[in-house]
Amino acid sequence: MATIKDVAKSAGVSIATVSRVLNGSANVKQATRDAIQRTIQELNYMPNALARGLQKKQSKTIGVLFPDATSYYFAEIIRGINTCIQQAGYRIVVSSAHDAADEANVFLSLWKSQQVSGMIVMMPSTHNATIFNSTQRSIPLILLNTAITDGADITITIDNYQGAKEITKHLIEHGHQAIGFIHGAPNNHDSEERYRGYQDALNEGNLTRSSHLEFHGNFTENSGYRAVISLLNQSEKPTAIFAANDAMAIGAVEAARQLSLQVPQDIAIVGFDDISTARYINPPLTTMNVPVLEIGEMAGNHLIRLLEDNRQVVTREITVPVHLVVRESCGCPKEK
Amino acid sequence: MATIKDVAKSAGVSIATVSRVLNGSANVKQATRDAIQRTIQELNYMPNALARGLQKKQSKTIGVLFPDATSYYFAEIIRGINTCIQQAGYRIVVSSAHDAADEANVFLSLWKSQQVSGMIVMMPSTHNATIFNSTQRSIPLILLNTAITDGADITITIDNYQGAKEITKHLIEHGHQAIGFIHGAPNNHDSEERYRGYQDALNEGNLTRSSHLEFHGNFTENSGYRAVISLLNQSEKPTAIFAANDAMAIGAVEAARQLSLQVPQDIAIVGFDDISTARYINPPLTTMNVPVLEIGEMAGNHLIRLLEDNRQVVTREITVPVHLVVRESCGCPKEK
DNA sequence: ATAAAAAATGTAAACGTTTACATTAAAACA
DNA sequence: TGTTTTAATGTAAACGTTTACATTTTTTAT
């Protein structure tokens, strides 16, 4: 593999000059520049990213850290990040963490080994706030959808609270009085915020909440299924259910069918996320749409700006609005 | 950020000794080793991956290259790869390419800049075979699902041909005589192989094929939709349709409904991939299941072996079997 | 034509590691 | 005890770049 030395020798100049044309320095004669360019082509030379990174102290690589499970958001966010990152000459290294402890490890090792110039971390679990301490961190960090509002340069959070409130209100407008809630995984920030929204919507609608109307799931379809079985197996039955995500809502619909209940006539069910499956199930699921791709793009763009302009790092919190997608599972009439 | 020098000074030894404990060399006194370990902890030291990679000529990073669009396979394959790769101390850098030219660029730049010690490339487009020339390539390469059988160390391909044949035969067994086919994107290897399987199944079933029964889509739901509209708008109508992937099959089902045709009574529709949505649509889609996660794991494992054992690189072609998932869109009765 | 200023190029140190080789310390043997 | 063998540590070069500084070449002004 050709090195800068080979190019220099072959072009009859010093490596410094080659380096200068590589980095677009102004002070090099056009003729020399051309000759070197030609040699580079001939030798098929490409600078060693490791050597360059070592010298310049930056790897042109950004780390993306995900919780293990979340395969739904995953692909789209990566795709969003990649679009902007790639054309700025950066690469993405992805890692996933099994649990909070693992997350800290991966984060630290990525950072301390200087493998990344910046990081985008998605961490909906509410533990672990301290790792991101900005006083000792030297690279820009963007936190996605996390409970932590401090320590990162930018946090991007979807508006779980408003979204949940809105969709719950929608159910209230349908006349429901007993609205159930299926929690997501414990200690999950998204789930907690959605719960807050749900509660406040009930309060503002003067409905009393009751723990009999709640079930603790874990975001999986199966837990949504179990939730409905359990909720409807008691005297105080909900007439509508808001599941903290679509997967659970889908499981809930399944369970309702199993119990020979019509959705939405006998029980209305809504979710959150607007995953691609949501519009295909029967009945099509009313849910809150989360602009996942855009979130990825936003994160990528902001990080690039932080990295390139290395301007004043202003801690900023961005809240991404979500929007209600009315389909049929809430009781609204079919579209066309 | 602490360097090996800081550790050496602080522990009162030379950097060579520190390096030795870092790399687990046998020749270092236990007492010294302990002292150094302690210092490492204290200083929170972690070796600079760039410097190490530069010196060792390997980055402990593996490149994963995807075509831009394929967001379905994407997430699962990454996840599969990541599981094995991560515990072997490697990282994944993902890149996507818009088109074949771009693909070549990304491949070459990743490789030539020594950013990766190995690559996993997914390239279903049939162009571009030459870049992977193994004679001038120095890093292990695994090709996923590609037309190219030469140049890579290992190729992993899903058994499109057999799968397509099997599902087509299934339609034939239902008594269908006029079975339509919806092609995927042009020059796509998966699509072509599935077409081959379809053809051979027809032949073996003594059915004549007809270009009137074929439509050229591009793997999107929308193209499946248009396919059905077009196929059913002619005199020679199919009674069953095999779409080269599930997305198109779903579009096809949609279109059938639009035309007030019952699936499967009026027209049977089957797909390929078994994407998560397949079982939720109405009627649930009969399709071929592709073990995507397993393919990712397989690729990761093989690459690690290639990298670590650096044993004889034997060119191997692995074909991954797929299996028929019978649901209702083919005309089979409901399960339970 | 000559001196001064500006532009182009070269030299060498640095980035943080690993490792071959040289040196010193400890253990084994006589 | 002194010699030889073995184990532990140190020295310094190398990996492929970038860049401050020194040097040479070219241009401009006189």
The closest of B302, B290, B311 to B84, measured between CA atoms, is B302
Percent of chain B clearing pLDDT 70 (strictly above): 94
The predicted pLDDT at position B313 comes to: 60
Q: How many CB atoms lie within 10 A of CB A14?
A: 12
Domain enclosing residue A8, as ranges: 4-47
Question: Do B41 and B66 fall within a single domain?
Answer: no
End-to-end CA distance of chain B: 63
Which residues lie closer than 8 Å to A135 by C-beta, 6 or more apart? none
Interatomic CA distance for residues A236 and A178, integer angstroms: 8
> Three-class SS of residue A3?
coil
Q: CATH number of the domain at B21, please.
A: 1.10.260.40
DSSP conformation letters of A270-291: E-SB--GGGGTSSSPPBEEE--
Q: Do A119 and A264 fall within a single domain?
A: no
pLDDT for residue A130: 66
Hey, which residues does A125 pair with through a beta bridge?
Answer: A188
Helix H or strand E segment including B195: helix B189-204
Is B186 found in the same domain as B92? no
Specify the number of domains making up chain A: 3
Q: Which residues of B touch A45 (CB under 8 A)?
A: 112
Q: Does any domain span residue B14?
A: yes
Beta strands A61-67 and A91-97 are parallel
Report the distance separating Cα A93 and Cα B64, nearest Å. Answer: 10
> Is the CB atom of residue A22 positioned under 7 angstroms from any atom of strand D?
yes
* Contact yes or no for B264/B283 (Cβ under 8 A): yes
Asked whether residue B235 falls in the same domain as residue B272, the answer is yes
- Is a pLDDT exceeding 70 seen at residue B266? yes
Question: Residue B44's pLDDT is what?
Answer: 93
Q: Does residue B18 share a domain with residue B124?
A: no
Q: Does B50 score more than 70 pLDDT?
A: yes
Is residue B117 located within the same domain as residue B181? no
- Claim to verify: residue B277 and residue B188 sit in the same structural domain: yes
Q: How far is the CA of B32 from the C1' of C25 (A)?
A: 14
The structure tokens listed for B316 are 């191997």
Higher per-residue confidence, B150 vs A207: A207
Dist CA B148 CA B130 (whole Å) = 9
Taking CA atoms, what residue in A is nearest to B106? A86
pLDDT for the residue numbered A312 = 59
Residues A95, A73: one domain?
A: yes
Residues B55-112 have pLDDT tens digits of 999 899 999 998 876 667 788 898 899 888 988 999 999 998 887 778 888 889 999 9
Residue A327 lies in a domain: no
CB of A86 within 8 A of CB of B102?
A: no
Answer whether residue B155 is part of any domain. yes
Same domain, B258 and B178: yes
Residue B93 resides in a domain: yes
Q: What is the pLDDT of residue A87?
A: 85
Assess whether B73 and B26 both reside in one domain.
no
Instruction: Judge whether residue B50 contacts strand D, using its CB and a 7 Å cut-off.
Output: no
Residue B309 predicted with pLDDT over 90: no
Rounding to the nearest 10 degrees, give the CA dihedral for residues B37, B40, B41, B47: -120
Q: Which nucleotides of D are covered by protein (CB under 7 A)?
A: 7-12, 14-20
Nearest 5°: the CA angle A105, B304, B190 is: 110
Which two structure tokens, joined as six digits, stand for B300? 């990761």
Structural domain contains residue B177:
yes
Chain B residues with CB-CB distance to A109 below 8 A: 46
Query: Quick check: A69 contacting B, CB < 8 Å?
Result: no
pLDDT of residue B22: 95
Q: Three-class SS of residue A121?
A: strand
Residue A334 belongs to a domain: no
The tens place of each residue's pLDDT in chain A, 336 residues long, gives 899 999 999 999 999 999 999 999 888 999 999 999 999 999 999 999 999 999 999 899 999 998 876 667 788 898 899 888 988 999 999 998 887 778 888 888 999 998 899 999 987 776 666 667 766 778 899 999 887 777 788 999 999 999 999 999 999 999 999 999 999 999 889 999 999 999 999 999 999 888 899 999 999 999 999 999 999 888 888 999 999 999 999 999 999 999 999 989 999 999 999 998 999 998 999 999 999 999 999 999 999 999 987 655 666 899 999 999 999 999 998 765
Whether the Cβ atoms of residue B141 and residue B152 lie closer than 8 Å to each other: yes
B272 and B228 inside one domain: yes
Give the number of C-alpha atoms closer than 13 A to the C-alpha of residue B153, restricted to the C-beta side: 22
CATH of the domain at B237: 3.40.50.2300
**Residue A279 in domain:** yes
The 3-state DSSP class for residue A333 equals: coil
User: In Å, what is the separation between the CA of A21 and the C1' of D18?
Assistant: 12
State whether A94 and B95 contact (CB < 8 Å): no
Which nucleotide minimizes the distance between its C1' and the CA of A113?
Answer: C16
What residues of A are in contact with residue B79 (Cβ under 8 Å)? 71, 74, 96
Sign of CA dihedral B96, B102, B108, B114: negative
- Give Dmax (Cα) for chain A: 89
Selected residue with higher pLDDT from A130 and B168: B168
Please tell me whether residue A248 adopts helix, strand or coil conformation: helix
| Residue B21 predicted with pLDDT over 60 | yes
What is the reported pLDDT for B26? 84
Mutate to test the interface with A, among B94, B136, B263 (most CBs of A within 10 A): B94
Q: Is B96 within a domain? A: yes
Q: Is A277 in the same domain as A173?
A: yes
